[in-house]
Structure 1
Amino acid sequence: MDNTFWAFISLVIFLAIVWYLKVPSKMSKSLDDRAARIRNEIEEARELKEEAKQQLAEYQRRRREAEQEAKDIVAAAKREAEQMLQEARRKNDEYVERRTAMAETKIGQAEQDAVAEVRASAVNLAVAASARIIAERNSGGASGQFIDQSISEVRRRLN
């Protein structure tokens, strides 16, 4: 009985214990479980990949919609700004027209006032000249009073 014999006996006992404890079936079951777990993980990875593709497509669609909406907002803002500019121009033109009309009215009124003032001055000068001429011709008593009343009545009516 040498060492080789005892090594052989130990090997046989080890193999019997391994067979008795059903290690090969446990190992195959463990490997099968691991293979199933790996298959499940691969399937989950595929599902996650598909979900990620769907989310990517959804985000790209939303991005395109957002870009279109932004373009629409910019276009609307430009239209609104143009309308505001046109409205401001229209109001400015109306303001200028009103101010011009008002200035023309004031000028017309000033012309009328000037004409009335010149007329009044001319009447006063004519009445004064007439009074002086009549007074020089008729420097008598009672007729002078009548003439003064007539001159004041003429002055009143002309002004």
Structure 2
Amino acid sequence: MEFGSTFWVAIAFVIFIIAVFKPLKKAATDALDEKIAEVRNEIEEAQRLREEAQSTLASYQLKQRDAAQEVESMMEQAKAEAEANRMNAEASLNAMLKRQEQSATEKIQQAEAAAVQEIRDRAVTVALAATEKLLEEKLADDPGANLIDEAITSLPNHLH
């Protein structure tokens, strides 16, 4: 059995392929394993970053909700304070108006009393003057006129 050169080339080629394939297979497997590990690490890092981002988002949403509640609370408190201030101002204004009204009423009453007193005084003065004139006319010739004059003169002292 004699083998030809083609056979020996084929055998040499198979041996060459086997000899080259083993180290290439190991290098290719190692390279693929390394690439798989890199991809796995990137996926794990991406998942970790995603979880961290979700955690941060939840934290910020909670902070935003708390801030919104605080703003709402502050608004309600400000409205309550404004209403209380309005009510206090209204009460103060009403009290001031009542005092002014009472003061004006007192001034009017004092003016009325002064006017009434002045009218009374003038009425008395006019009545005395009229009485004096009548008595003088009727008693001008009477000897007791001096007595009457003295009584008339002292009459205002008794009426006031």
Q: Same fold (TM over 0.5)?
A: yes
Partner of 2:116: 115
CA separation of 1:14 and 1:108: change in aligned 2, threshold 3 A? farther
Query: Cα distance, 1:32 vs. partner?
Result: 2.2
The TM-score normalised by the length of structure 2 is 0.70
SS at match of 1:48: helix
Could you say what the CA RMSD is over the residues aligned between the two structures, in angstroms?
3.8
Query: Cα distance, 1:56 vs. partner?
Result: 2.3
Partner of 1:60: 61
Identity of aligned residues (%): 37
CA separation of 1:112 and 1:11: change in aligned 2, threshold 3 A? farther
Q: Partners in 2 of 1:60 and 1:51 — Cα distance?
A: 14
Partner of 2:3: none
Query: Cα distance, 1:24 vs. partner?
Result: 3.6
Partner of 2:46: 45
Higher relative contact order (CA 8 A, sep 6+): 1
The code of the aligned residue for 2:57 comes to L
Q: Partners in 1 of 2:102 and 2:67 — Cα distance?
A: 51
Would you say how many aligned residue pairs link Structure 1 and Structure 2? 152
Structure 1 runs not aligned, ≥5 long: none
The code of the aligned residue for 2:59 comes to E
The TM-score normalised by the length of structure 1 is 0.70
Write out aligned runs for 1:71-86 (5 A).
71-86=72-87
1:81-123 CA-partner distances (Å, limit 9, x unpaired): 3212321331232133113202211220121121122112112
